[in-house]
Amino acid sequence: MWQEEFESSPARDDGIETSTISGVPLQPLYTSEDLPRRAEEYPGQFPYTRGIHPSGYRGRLWTMRQFSGFATAEETNRRYKYLLANGQNGLSVAFDMPTLMGQDSDAPTSRGEVGHCGVAIDSLADMETLFDGIPLGDITTSMTINSPAAILLCMYIAVAEKQGVPASQLGGTLQNDILKEFIAQKEFIFPPAPSMRLVVDSIEYCATEVPKWNTISISGYHIREAGSTAAQELAFTLADGMAYVDACLERGMHIDDFASRLSFFFDAHIDFFEEIAKFRAARRIWARWMRERYGAQQERSWKLRFHAQTAGVSLTAQQPELNIARTAIEALAAVLGGTQSLHTNAMDEVFALPTDKAARLALRTQQLLAYETGVANTIDPLGGSYFIESLTDEMERQAEAYFKRIDEIGGVIPAIEVGFFQKEIADAAFRYQQELEQKRRLVVGVNEFMVDEEAPIDILRIDPRLESEQAERVQQVRRKRDQARCTNALHQLRKAAAGTDNLMPYILDAVRAYATEGEIMHALIEVFGTYTETAVV
Amino acid sequence: MSATAVRPVRIVVAKVGLDGHDRGVKVVARALRDAGYEVIYTGLRQTPEMVVDAALQEDAQVIGLSIHSGAHMTLFPAVVEELKRRQATDIVVFGGGIIPDDDIATLKKRGVAEIFTPGTPLQEIVDWLRMRFPESTQK
């Protein structure tokens, strides 16, 4: 009856795709016939499709965690205090490119990069400044760093020691997800095997020494931003997660000793319902794999906890105020998908790092969602929707199909080495760009609804003098430290790297002796070598 | 279509600096290839010296640079300077990435021929190249 009426009604002929932004075909209507037959699902109960907490956001709202860092440790410290004073309840450190790539600010290849896309950290001295006056026992901190992750975690532990806070009390998250670097963001340094060793070393070390720390944030965000579809983001991220689990099991760890400290990080993109379905499917798949394939006994090992960030790639330089609206919609998807913490992008991040005002607006957007809209009052409010449930199943089905393909290639690392993920992502990115060019998808202000004259907006500028000042600072650290102690610590680290010991205690010793990040990385590179990608277009 | 005697324009496309965000550079590289240009993609983390080396070795007429880390004010002009040093200023340099408007004017003054920012249609880049190199018809 309805079907006939629908088919005889005139359809819009604007040529715009009706599939999701990832290309999943959608029906015009979903009914009870599309609902999968399964037992009633509840939040806080396996397989956690409806959330990991029985009380949802009634028990506790998501953590509003704005990623920030720029210029020097001193300036970023001021921004952190500003954000904390404005009601943010967790810190999230953005490092600059040299820090992310494990090199000091005075290295020749750091020129032009120091303090630009994050804060410059060269040694424990900078880390002390970064957290000056911020009690590390009372807040949680997320650190977005990968190849040199172990070093930055050791610096954090060492700063806490100086504040009198034992490592056992520290809470926070280390991104530490090297696989997605090989797959998407490309901030790799060592080859895959020693990279994985460092990841497992830090997970193993934290299991006993820093038990409240989320040792890894297995990230789909960068995979998505690099151009993947939602299903690819979901599948590749969870496949990475399983690769880390496999690596820890090979080390001889027991699944329930580390699984609950694994955390995830997803993109909250603009295709609203698809994103919500993705988050719900992620929890269900992970729970099932943890319980059924890996035999985890403890419930906390089954629960997929995640952080979400709105999609940087969806922001437009054209009519940038629109980015506030985009970000609000994406943040809403993350909340309805049950995120544990959230970063909302600032409207001006398409030009540079955010100004104070733009950063505050982004935070206020989350506060508005949490306190004005009422969306946090009911747990998984879209659960049971014919459409959402059906799309959640579709996401799951697509992810499982990818797991099979990855298995056929021989696992995640072989798939990286043959460029499987890289090609899938590049193809998806190119397909999307073509859809834009052909106006089969519209981006408001970019390929439709443009204006002739764009009003200029204020952006944050990094003082060019900063680079030489920071270079001077790291040179001063090298002059003032106990050189014999530092040299010895680096020597011990090199020796340990050539063996099989867990490297964390050695890195911690080097950090305490004020060895710089670049020096520690260099010691490891001498043993591990470096990795170069075969570029495929 | 008839083949022409004019050789296609060769373009070296490079990621300079430390950031590994290669979505844009890959999409642009594919689009230029589809438009009939000969595209050589250098891969990640190229220094200005490496980019110019590649351009000279490949006998390229154009260098396309991509950067997302904010180091464009240092690294784009460094490529132009390196071309001057190697007496290869006939090679045209263009770039793209997260680059604020104010910086574009400065970069152009310093010898970068054009900057394409986020949201630029691929066709606009192709059209610009056709305008710069009208004699080399594509296939």
DSSP H stretches of helix in A9-92: 56-59, 73-85
Q: Do A430 and B121 touch (CB under 8 A)?
A: no
R_g of chain B, CA atoms, integer Å: 14
Delineate the domains of chain B, giving CATH numbers in brackets: 10-130 (3.40.50.280)
Question: What H or E segment, with its residue span, contains residue B109?
Answer: helix B101-109
User: What is the side-by-side strand order in the sheet with B10-15?
Assistant: B38-41, B10-15, B62-67, B92-97, B114-116
**In degrees to the nearest 10, what's the CA dihedral of A21, A410, A500, A248?**
60
Candidates A116, A445, A534; nearest CB to B71: A116
B29 touches chain A (CB under 8 A): yes
Calpha distance A82→A66 (Å, rounded): 12
Radius of gyration of chain A measured on its C-alpha atoms: 23
A112 touches chain B (CB under 8 A): yes
B21 lies within 8 A of chain A by CB: yes
Residue A320 contacts B where some CB pair is shorter than 8 Å:
no
Tens place of pLDDT for every residue, chain A, 537 residues? 899 999 999 999 899 999 999 999 999 999 999 998 888 999 999 999 999 999 999 999 999 988 888 899 999 999 899 888 988 778 999 999 999 999 999 999 999 999 998 999 999 999 999 999 999 999 999 999 999 999 999 999 999 999 999 999 999 999 999 999 999 999 999 999 999 999 999 999 999 999 999 999 999 999 999 999 999 999 999 999 999 999 999 999 999 999 999 999 999 999 999 999 999 999 999 999 999 999 999 999 999 999 999 999 999 999 999 999 999 999 999 999 999 999 999 999 988 889 989 999 999 999 999 999 999 999 999 999 999 999 999 999 999 999 999 999 999 999 999 999 999 999 999 999 999 999 999 999 999 999 988 888 888 888 889 999 999 999 999 999 999 999 999 999 999 999 999 999 999 999 999 999 999 999 999 999 999 998 877
Is B133 a residue whose pLDDT tops 80?
yes
The interface predicted TM-score of the complex, written ipTM, equals 0.89
Which of the four pLDDT bands, split at 50, 70 and 90, describes residue B1?
very low
Distance from the Cα of B88 to chain A's closest Cα (Å) equals: 23
CB A120 within 8 A of CB A72: yes
Residues 182 through 221 of chain A touching chain B, CB cutoff 8 Å: 185-188
Would you state the pLDDT for residue B137?
A: 52
Mean pLDDT of the B95-109 span: 93
A352 at interface of B, judged by CB pairs closer than 8 A: yes
Q: Do A535 and B75 touch (CB under 8 A)?
A: no
Extended strands (E) in A160-305: 171-174, 213-214, 216-219, 262-268
Give whole-number Cα distances, A201 to A91, A218, B88, B98, in Å: 24, 16, 49, 36
DSSP reduced 3-state for A333: helix
Which spans in A263-385 are helix H? 272-288, 299-302, 322-336, 356-371
Report the Cα B77 to chain-centroid distance in Å: 13
Q: Which positions ≥6 away from A65 have C-beta within 8 Å? A: A88, A89, A90, A91, A92, A142, A307, A341, A342, A343
Q: What is the side-by-side order of every strand in the sheet holding A306-310?
A: A63-64, A341-343, A306-310, A262-268, A216-219
Position B2 pLDDT exceeds 50 = no
Nearest CA-CA distance, residue B132 and chain A, Å = 22
Interface of A with B in 253-312 (CB under 8 A): none
User: Of chain B residues 63-102, which have a CB less than 8 A from chain A?
Assistant: 68-75, 78, 98, 100-101
Q: Which of A96-100, A379-383, B5-9, B116-120 has the lowest mean pLDDT?
A: B5-9
**Are A469 and A366 in contact, with CB atoms under 8 Å apart?**
no
Q: 């990040």: which residue's tokens?
A: A517
Instruction: Determine the pLDDT at residue B5.
Output: 56
Give the pLDDT of residue A534. 84
Where do runs of H (alpha helix) occur along A383-513? 386-409, 412-417, 420-437, 466-480, 483-498, 504-512
For chain B, the residue count is 139
From the list A116, A318, A464, the residue facing B119 with the nearest CB is A318
Query: B139 pLDDT exceeds 50?
Result: no
Closest Cβ opposite residue A185 in set B21, B41, B78: B21
pLDDT value at residue B120:
93
Domains parsed from chain A with CATH numbers: 49-437 (3.20.20.240)
| Distance set, CA A166 to CA A33, A126, A158, A159, A170 (Å) | 56, 20, 9, 10, 7
- What does DSSP assign to residue A477? H
Chain center to CA of B18: 17
Question: Would you state the structure tokens that stand for residue A280, as one six-digit string?
Answer: 């719900």
For residue B73, give how far its alpha carbon lies from the nearest alpha carbon of chain A (Å).
7
Contacts with A111 from chain B: Cβ below 8 Å: 71, 74-75
Q: How many helices (H) and strands (E) does chain A have?
A: 22, 10
Could you tell me if B10 and B61 are in contact, meaning their C-beta atoms sit under 8 angstroms apart? yes
Count CB atoms within 10 A of the CB of residue A521: 22
Measured distance CA(A228)–CA(A294) in Å, rounded: 28
Q: What is the pLDDT of residue A419?
A: 95
Average pLDDT, chain B: 92
- For residues B75 and B67, the answer to whether their CB atoms sit within 8 Å is yes
Distance between CA atoms of residues A265 and A242, nearest Å: 15
Q: Which residue has the tokens 């070393």?
A: A201
Please give the Cα distance from A461 to A401 (Å, whole number): 46
Closest residue of chain B to A222, computed from CA coordinates: B21
Q: In this complex, how many residue pairs, one in chain A and one in chain B, have their CB atoms less than 8 Å apart? A: 109
User: Looking at beta carbons, which residues of chain A come within 8 Å of B28?
Assistant: none
Which residue bears the tokens 């659960």? Answer: A383
Residues 222-251 of A with CB under 8 A from B: 225-227
